[in-house]
Structure 1
Amino acid sequence: MRFVCLVLASALALVLANGAVQAQRTASPFFAFVVFGEGTDGRPVPMVRSVAERATACPSLRSSHGGTPVTMTPRRRPVGGQFDDVLVCEARYPVGEAASVFQGGRRIDLPVVSLGTPRRVVLVGDSGCRGDTKDKPQPCTGDGFAKVWPFGTLSDEEVGNRPDLIIHVGDYNYRGTPRGMVVPARVSGYGRDMPVSFYDTGDLDDEDEPDLPIGAAYWSQNMEGSPIPDKWAYWRDDFFLPAARLLPVAPWLLSRGNHELCSRAGPGWFYLLDANSPLLGPGAKQQECPPQTPAGWQLGAWPKPPALPFAGQAFPTITNPPFRLKFGKLNIVAIDSANAADAVLFNLDLYLGQYREVARLLAEDRTPTWLVTHRPIWGVVKRDKGGPIPSTPYGFVNETQREAVHRVFPNGIPSHVKVVIVGHMHRFQAIGFDSRQPPHLAVGTGGMELSHVQPVPSPDHPKRPVRVPGLDRSDAYVVGLRDFATMVVNPVDDGTWTSALYGTEGEVLAVCDSRWPGPGHARSVCELK
């Protein structure tokens, strides 16, 4: 079935594209969607979330089969007031029947959710818009919208196709997450304005200079007195409005990207999208970012230099443990890689623990499994952007996860892992190994300004896979594209899968088959069309 992306002329045209969103021109924005989490009993739990601007009470959830409406419960807002004008509510969602969310005279219809093996899975990632930045602006509205920021252009045809599951591999909010800020003198008390770079553990696939703001200090845009704290308006414009048509179509599995670190858009992530909730069962709770200002630091009277925020202390970050969703004859394990350093070993102990838990999950259940995370495990980049491997002209990300995987799985990832699905790199990259390692798909093509293809293909044979020696102790065969696109994956009960990558005009850009790579095959998992 053909996947078509209908490119819209502007954000306003997007809002006019359907009746449900059209009403938001005259009413406060109102969204609803279903998100999956893992229950404390190990079973997948579908939950409905509503997100309503300027609402004072939670909506109700009503099953299509009738019965008593359920009043949804509010989630806890981040401190600081930046999300006070948006109310997020949630409830458990029924399995096997449709339901609708009602708020006043407004209604959003939601899908029938199945816990069986999904047959049609949509992959999207890195969907935000850069905005009016100094060095590389990316228009998010106006004449440049259609060609420069296509997220939200999923067509009526794809909406009508009703996928069984939508996986977003992270990075939802770009306009609201710059790399740094200027701290006003009135905030620090230093007598001068001071530029700082926000904590991140690498964002090295952009076409910029390598950026690795890891050091003794922890600077956060959510510090007290910050001129640019995370706030609802950024999330609304970068994710919810353009995704409004797609949000209610199918249940979502949502990964956390590095733009959702607590030093960036973490407060909104944990309020709006993170799957952690008391609804998952006894002992489960909503997560939130730790305070982003050191204890004792007062506005206008910070400790004098060389004092630095959180120097010598544990940085105020939070990383979710891996969780598993069991869907019939397919398991999906989600890993929070937001805090894994791209090109150096940093937070290695944290990710050794993460992958030991992944190993435990894989050992207790040998159902065919997908690993889903934001940062690549085996991404191929320019040599100066990643950790180099001797005798190759390439760099590799993510160094922290790759080392953790080496140590936890010294004989390779178990064979029932059928694919690793990631984002972070703002392009499409597909890797097939000449070994038993699973294929690796990077689909960071959802809207953020794209990066050039690495490794650079042969000018004589631009669609032929590029051999990359020594990637994870074996040869790898890599294809890539610099195109805005979305992938549709079709799992099969025996654990194999096929997929196709679709461009903004509905054209097939690549086709993939999990059976293609492997020892002696000398090919990628995808072929470019």
Structure 2
Amino acid sequence: MEPPLPSPIPFRLPAALPPLAALALLAGCATPPAASPPPEFSAYVVMGEQGAAVARVVTSAANCPALASDGKALAMTVRALPATLAQRPTASKPEDSKASVFPMLTCEAVLPAGTASASVYGQPLPVPRAAPRRIAVIGDSGCRMKKKDNEFQDCHDVQQFPLATVAAAAAAWKPDLVVHVGDYLYRENACPDGKAGCAGSPWGYGWDAWHADLFQPAAPLLQAAPWVVLRGNHESCQRAGQGWWRLLDPRPLQPGRDCNAAADDSLGDYSDPYAVPLGGDAQLLVVDSAATTWKGFKPGAPGFERYRDAYRKLDILSQQATWNFALMHHPILGVGVELKPDGGYLWHKGDLGLQQSFGSLNPGLLPKNVQTVLSGHEHLWEQLSFSSGHPSQFIAGFSGSLEDTVPMPPVLPPEVLPAPGVAIEHFSTWIDGFGFMGLERTGPGDWDVTVFDRHGQIKNRCKIAGRHSVCGVAQVK
């Protein structure tokens, strides 16, 4: 039974091409011939600043392919050459780390505004809609393999690592846009001997791990719609930052901003916010929160000023539209909890690093035009609405990674509120269930929210109206 609704590289011409046909192609007057697909490739579209749609191809071919855009040739350029990147300091001990190998060529091209159709290697690419009305939200999706915590998920078991199932269900929902709220790669350390569930799994931060954790299982969803990609702490420079910059971030790849050398991490770990328009005076505001800390910044820490700068830029961007979703991996207004070894509770309140930096400029934490915050990080689904004037917070970190949270009470104790000065009016959670979240626009500042399990079955329904939200079920069972 459904829950009740709540109350209120350049283009190369084939050698045998006749001269006149060549001129026609160069002029964009003919459909480029589709090259034979290489043995391995991934093709997808990520949304960048002000809605620029960046087509990406990761390919085992020696050269970038031709891309067809509305029947015309569009040159793809090299974003990153194949490389073996020397081992750098990581979040793991040196003996548990290794060099990152990227044997594939990464190519890209910005699709012209208004593109109606695009393809590469004969495979259709998803193209953006000017006013997407249906948005699928996933997050925290990789298979956890971490020696430090002795956590090794059964990556070969689709029941234990269900991203492929989730992605197929989300694709079947036919979204206009996909938002991934961060944390893509979790296969950080080698699977221990005797652990059949992950035996032989690729690990580290190279292409093989990225392919296993994201590009292979999420292929149906990558083909279904363009993606807005958030950066999580798992994509910081000490972790999977090299792959983040090569594969996902929509902006140009700059030397030094690639996480290859630890000496450059102060550049590679931060990037400016940007906006993705949704039409109808609404937009998504994407915030890179990879280097924040839930424990808060120590005096003089560079992150404090970097995130103050991010807030100022976020505030300016928010003035471009009346209705804004702030997208940041770390929930500034969310709550989570895990069991400590002694059986007690370790509460995760809203990210203190962001609260310190943003709060030093605005005690309300977010610009006034932000109505809703979308995050991940906590491995659960959660909704909070506030009577204190704060924007609603949704967490969608429940799409594949090991879920280490425990059930929360229906009413949060005062001492574990997500931030000082907040007053909760509505609170809803789903613990220990995998799935995705759907957003459907119903008015200028109004959205319907549907929470789906891994198979696309409805578990909860919510409504967003301005800064407020309410769900039909307080605790999904």
TM-score (norm. length: structure 1): 0.69
| One-letter identity of the residue aligned with 2:111 | Y
The answer (yes or no) to whether the contact 2:296–2:356 under 8 Å persists in 1 is no
Distance 1:384 1:500, change over 3 A: same
The answer (yes or no) to whether the contact 1:270–1:287 under 8 Å persists in 2 is no
1:403 aligns with 2:415: no
1:153 aligns with 2:165: yes
Cα distance, 1:125 vs structure 2: 0.3
Distance 1:291 1:90, change over 3 A: closer
* Local SS of the residue matching 2:439: strand
Residue of structure 1 aligned with 2:379, choices 396, 407, 426: 426
Give the structure 2 partner of residue 474 of structure 1: 422
Task: Give the Cα–Cα distance (whole angstroms) in 2 for the partners of residues 272 and 115 of structure 1.
Answer: 24
Range moving further from structure 2, 74-83 or 233-242: 74-83
Cα distance, 1:231 vs structure 2: 1.1
Mapping of residues 497-516 of structure 1, within 5 Å: 497-515=447-465
Residue of structure 1 aligned with 2:216, choices 241, 244, 252: 241
Distance 1:350 1:79, change over 3 A: farther
| One-letter identity of the residue aligned with 1:349 | E
Distance 1:316 1:71, change over 3 A: closer
Cα distance, 1:365 vs structure 2: 2.2
Mapping of residues 123-202 of structure 1, within 5 Å: 123-131=137-145, 133=147, 135-141=150-156, 145-154=157-166, 158-176=170-188
Distance 1:287 1:468, change over 3 A: farther
Q: Give per-residue Cα distances to partners, 1:199-241, cap 9 Å, x unaligned.
A: xxxxxxxxxxxxxxxxxxxxxxxxxxxxx86211111111111
Q: Give per-residue Cα distances to partners, 1:334-378, cap 9 Å, x unaligned.
A: 00000011122252111111111111222x324200000111102
Cα distance, 1:287 vs structure 2: 7.1
Gaps of 5+ in 2: 3-36, 87-99, 191-202
Gaps of 5+ in 1: 3-25, 179-227, 279-284, 295-309, 386-391, 458-463
TM-score (norm. length: structure 2): 0.76
Distance 1:110 1:378, change over 3 A: same
Distance 1:516 1:410, change over 3 A: closer
Give the structure 2 partner of residue 340 of structure 1: 292
Q: Give per-residue Cα distances to partners, 1:57-81, cap 9 Å, x unaligned.
A: 1111113x423x2231111346627
Distance 1:415 1:355, change over 3 A: closer
Mapping of residues 126-525 of structure 1, within 5 Å: 126-131=140-145, 133=147, 135-141=150-156, 145-154=157-166, 158-176=170-188, 230-277=205-252, 288-292=257-261, 317-329=268-280, 330-346=282-298, 347-362=303-318, 364-382=319-337, 394-411=347-364, 413-453=366-406, 456-457=408-409, 464=410, 466=412, 468=414, 471-476=419-424, 477-482=426-431, 483-515=433-465, 518=468
Task: Give the Cα–Cα distance (whole angstroms) in 2 for the partners of residues 152 and 382 of structure 1.
Answer: 27
Distance 1:453 1:479, change over 3 A: farther
The answer (yes or no) to whether the contact 1:97–1:112 under 8 Å persists in 2 is yes
Give the structure 1 partner of residue 61 of structure 2: 55
Task: Give the Cα–Cα distance (whole angstroms) in 1 for the partners of residues 406 and 472 of structure 2.
Answer: 17
* Local SS of the residue matching 1:147: coil
Give the structure 1 partner of residue 18 of structure 2: none
Cα distance, 1:249 vs structure 2: 1.1
* Local SS of the residue matching 1:246: helix
Distance 1:498 1:395, change over 3 A: same
Residue of structure 2 aligned with 1:46, choices 34, 43, 53: 53
Distance 1:337 1:164, change over 3 A: same
* Local SS of the residue matching 2:219: coil
Give the structure 2 partner of residue 98 of structure 1: 117
Distance 1:349 1:525, change over 3 A: farther
Distance 1:138 1:512, change over 3 A: same
Q: Give per-residue Cα distances to partners, 1:114-163, cap 9 Å, x unaligned.
A: 222x110000000000147572221111xxx1221100214656434431
* Local SS of the residue matching 1:408: coil
Distance 1:395 1:100, change over 3 A: closer
Distance 1:55 1:468, change over 3 A: farther
Distance 1:291 1:61, change over 3 A: closer
Task: Give the Cα–Cα distance (whole angstroms) in 2 for the partners of residues 156 and 291 of structure 1.
Answer: 34
Q: Give per-residue Cα distances to partners, 1:174-220, cap 9 Å, x unaligned.
A: 00368xxxxxxxxxxxxxxxxxxxxxxxxxxxxxxxxxxxxxxxxxx
* Local SS of the residue matching 1:140: coil
* Local SS of the residue matching 1:148: coil
Cα distance, 1:527 vs structure 2: 4.2
Range moving further from structure 2, 260-269 or 169-178: 169-178
Cα distance, 1:290 vs structure 2: 4.7
* Local SS of the residue matching 2:158: helix
* Local SS of the residue matching 1:326: strand
1:72 aligns with 2:76: yes
Q: Give per-residue Cα distances to partners, 1:79-109, cap 9 Å, x unaligned.
A: 627444111101122424111102xxxx321
User: How many residues align structurally?
Assistant: 402
